[in-house]
Structure 1
Amino acid sequence: MISPSHIAIIMDGNGRWGLKKYNNRNKGHYYGLLNINKVIEHCIKIKIKYLTLYTFSTENWNRPKKEIDYLFFLFKYFYKKNFNKLNKNNIKIKFIGDLKNIPKDLKIIIKKIEDKTKNNDAITVIFAFNYGAKSELVNAFKNIIKNKTKVNEINEELINNYLYTNNIPDPDILIRTGGEKRLSNFLLWQLSYAELFFINKNWPDFNFFDLKKVIKAFGVTKRKFGGLNE
């Protein structure tokens, strides 16, 4: 049975969960945030080395300002409430995305988190924050051109080196909660050979047993990468 080293998750369904339980989308975002801690702990238990969480997309700016402000407030709350515990548990934290356009106070927090956890190695948790796969690729191609790369030097390895995920292995598994079946502009390059699991549960209800089921299903999958398994 094979084990994954990198799991990526689209944490969908928070707002719907909040509306159903409390008639309040923000309540769903709050409980979804609490579930992040649990899932990180679950991943450490089963020895996952990388976990990437789709936290805020470039398209999320189209949501109502009140909801965006609350999401940013939750990020600051998560940092204040959990940082010491995450650091103590040897968790390395990275952020990927276009961080130039986010509020200055969030940039300062992100830099502190990355600096203080850079030597931790129990698991690397990657927050995709103000992230969009198409803008990541556009950014990569602009930088390739800026560096005056010759056409015959452009290959997959070179493009990988210009992505936000440089030096991070591609995900083995993508999990999307919330019942939807789409990638929503998430890691389009990196997920080219990931196994996809769509869970008919909203993110706040996703638990250890759901994660174990996915790992078990992955473990018996024959990954051919375009070839044949005779």
Structure 2
Amino acid sequence: MEKSVVERFEMLKFDLHVHTFFSKDSLIDPRLLPKVAESRGLAGFAITDHDTFGAHSMIQEKNIMVVPGIEIRTSIGDVIALFIEEPVVSKDLFEVFDKVKAQDGVLIAAHPFGFPRLHGSVIEKAYRLLDGIEVVNARNIFRRQNEKAMKLAKRLGKSEVGGSDAHTLREVGRAYTLADASNIEELRSAIKRRKTQGGGGLSFPTVHLSSTVARIVHTIRF
């Protein structure tokens, strides 16, 4: 009998959806992320702040993989761009696609059945633009939201990605992507070749209160 993917390869965990205090709804200090990620058994993580790239220059850690990324709010939903070197900001999904691909990046539908979301009907029409679908997002309220995303990814033949969508340190690693990858290029290739799996579970719904607090703090500070 053929062994499972997990048995055949050394699958490592990567949290590909993490926010820092460069997002107005998070207070995470990016300099703390490497040690926290390692303590959670992660081989790497992606910083995906909203429409900004500011946190990346603050991390000098070399012992853990840090994937450059950004979360982009388009007119039809949120997408995550990974493996890019310059920020991409646009409301037009097609323009986002062109700019991400020009940097050899990958484009992921973020929490397609969460809120704000890229509606399933939209993905059906625009799925050729997407490399993958976030099938496990720890900030979803209901498990069925992830289950629906998983079914959609399988039906469309898209790479399966998982991420905590962490806005606090305690959320980091709650959901993750499994991949046989020891460096950035191997991880990028694994996503493009649909050789990844989403894993993990849901955070407590109360984590959303922390984002409200973060917005208040950002308003007071700035």
TM-score norm. by structure 2 comes to 0.32
Structure scoring higher RCO (CA < 8 A, sep ≥ 6) equals 1
Higher radius of gyration, 1 or 2? 1
TM-score norm. by structure 1 comes to 0.31
- Greater fraction helix: 1
